[in-house]
Amino acid sequence: MQQLIERFKNLSSTQQLALGGGAGVVLILLIAAVVLAGGGEPTTASSTTTTSVVIVEDTTTITEAETATTTTTEPEPVGETWPLTGRVDPEAVPTAPVLVAKIDNSSASRPQTGLSEADMVVEVLVEGGVARFLAFYQSNIPGEIGPIRSTREVDPKLIAPFDVVFAHSGGVAANVEAIRAVATDAGHPVLGSAAYGRDPDRPALYDLMLDPEVALELGPETSGDIWFRFDEVPPEGDHDQALTVSVSLSPIMDINYRWSSVDGGFLRFHGESSHLDSNGQQIVADNVIVLAVEQFDSGRTDGAGNPVPDYRVTGTGDAFVFRDGIAIRGTWERGSQDGFFRILDESGQPTPLAPGKVWIELMPIGRSVSWQ
């Protein structure tokens, strides 16, 4: 069994000002516990992750990425390629409209509907330590998606490169205006948009569902840009084994992924509980990407008085890619919100992802990721 403890560098423009450009000191407390690894693959919800990482923040300067964000050019495969998954399909339409749905991930919202069919999912914490998803759909459109919730400050910064139709349940005026500046709004459910309906079998606040076919009628064609490098073959090198991956997003959001060769991907868990879609299917990710990002206060609070967080998603930071049961350490770079994240390995080369579904965890600096 192999344990790995990774340290992070805290990157904060506020801290840079405090330092006046001086060098900072990062204190890393590493605590490792050793367990016996049994044979075979994890097939149950029992926890096998015992490695923890504690990040102690200090005055560390921030380095912004200066490189321009560009798409990765790959040799032309036989057939067409879906941009979000890298899967080659003779019936693929790379310029098909992309739908992004803002889906809740509180315990009351589970099981979600249509989440297992998303090409790419970005998980981001909102107020109160719970998370919501930005679920991207292009190659496979489910019949229904939900529950749909309100937008937040970081959403337009993440969806800007994709020319999407964006489905949400509203939000503060400034956030809705920012969404409409970078995307096609699927309409407001309170104002009678035909794209939304209520599920009588779900509790209130978690009952708003989306008809994606209606929403996509509004959608423009996309550019067909492929923002990640995809390769069926894992990269060469001495990579860490990662049969289990644990991501601590907040004190109440511990996400676990467990590699399954039978499913050909990482099965997703909330703590010890399998993360199921409403069809009973467990969520499976071909790629899990953890990006360490700076979290800061948006200046707003919710109805319960909880501060609403925002995130700095341009610049650079630590990145961890998990595919085929291995871990690849590196960095992310993003020059502006007009381009998407570039994931680089430790030698500075684009990290190849496995063709298939991509799950991205935006992990606040100071939280931990571990694998074994």
pLDDT of residue 204 exceeding 90 = yes
Higher pLDDT, 3 or 87: 87
For the chain, the average pLDDT equals 84
Q: Give me 108's structure tokens.
A: 């009351």
Confidence of residue 100 (pLDDT cuts 50, 70, 90): very high
Question: 46: which strand partners?
Answer: none
Indicate the SS3 state at residue 19: helix
Counting every residue written for the chain, the total comes to: 372
Query: 3-state secondary structure string, 46-111?
Result: CCCCCCEEEEECCCCCCCCCCCCCCCCCCCCCCCEECCCCCCEECCCCCCCCEEEEEEECCHHHCC
Q: What is the pLDDT of residues 126-138, one digit of tens each?
A: 999 999 999 999 9
Q: How far apart are CA 296 and CA 287, in angstroms?
A: 27
- pLDDT of 33: 34
pLDDT band at 23 (very low <50, low <70, confident <90, very high): very low
pLDDT for 44 beyond 60: no
pLDDT band at 190 (very low <50, low <70, confident <90, very high): confident
Please give the model's pTM, rounded to 2 decimal places. Answer: 0.81
Tell me the per-residue pLDDT of 332-348, one tens digit each, with 9 for 90 and over.
Answer: 999 999 999 999 999 99
- H or E element: which one contains 121? strand 120-125
Provide the token pair at 187.
């309409």
Minimal CA–CA distance to 258: which of 33, 43, 37, 32?
A: 43
Which has the minimum average pLDDT: 24-28, 62-66, 73-77, 162-166? 24-28
Q: How far apart are the first and last CA of the chain?
A: 7
Confidence (pLDDT) at 76 = 53
pLDDT at 79: 75
pLDDT at 195: 94
Average pLDDT of span 10-19: 38
- The token pair at 27 is 């204190």
pLDDT band at 188 (very low <50, low <70, confident <90, very high): confident
Contact 291, 319 (CB under 8 A): yes
- What pLDDT score was predicted for residue 1? 40
Q: Which residues of the chain form CATH 3.50.90.10?
A: 80-86+98-216
CATH topology for the 80-86+98-216 domain:
YerB-like fold (3.50.90)
